[in-house]
Structure 1
Amino acid sequence: MPLSEYEQRVLEQLEHDLGSDPKLGHAMSRGQKSRGHLTWAVFGVVAGLGVVLAGVMTQLTLLGIAGFAIMLGFAIWGLTGGKPTSSSSGEPRADDAKGPAPKAAAKDEKGFMGRVEERFERRRDEGDL
């Protein structure tokens, strides 16, 4: 079922507002995680699991809780940590100056909703809906 004109205008306004908010973009961006960072995170989770198992085998509740805390801490650190995508002054880093790959640049020009609309139209034309 297609969107009404009002719904399309509201959706376009929402897309525009979300795309123009630099604070939201910075908060939602995730940096790439280094291999060493992820390796230490996995090692920490496995070590925490070992401490939990040691606590279960020795029937020491505090040791099990400590192991769980270690696992949780390393898991959160591994999931949230990463390299920043730009410097704190707001200027792009040297890595960012390269620009996107050619395919990615063409994809970004249409925008997310443009790609979704194209897929929907293609499916409707092919009778998949």
Structure 2
Amino acid sequence: MPLSEYEQRVLEQMERALTSDDPRLANTLQSSGHRPVMRYVIAGIGLVVGLLVLVLGAANSNVWLGVVGFAVMFGAVGWAFAFAPRAKRGPEGVVGADGNVNARTSHPAKGAANGSGFMSRLEARWDRRREQGR
């Protein structure tokens, strides 16, 4: 059953409000959620095979077989997570009342001298907490 025009307008207004209130959540909800399942299945099989080879090497007192098993396990897990797809980023900026995205004009450099780096923010939070505790 299709939505009425009123319901469609209300739904669009709710979507714009969500996007303006929390753009990160809106981008997360709009993402396709596609995960490379086959990559994880193959890595899981490699992990199990490596573990079996490792146990077999330990049971037979073959150090080299245990090292090969560990290397297979490590390689399988590394392969699974090394080439994970990056999250798609939506448009950056502020959503206006009309629903259009106003792009940011300037992006401060990471770790710039203006003190907006990660450590500077952590230090500022720490200082605020210490002042509130007094």
Alignment TM class, shorter chain as reference = 0.3 to 0.5
Bigger fraction of residues in strand? 2
Q: If you compute each CA radius of gyration, which structure gives the higher value, 1 or 2?
A: 2
Per the normalisation by structure 1, the TM-score is: 0.42
Query: Please, what TM-score do these two structures have when normalized by structure 2?
Result: 0.41
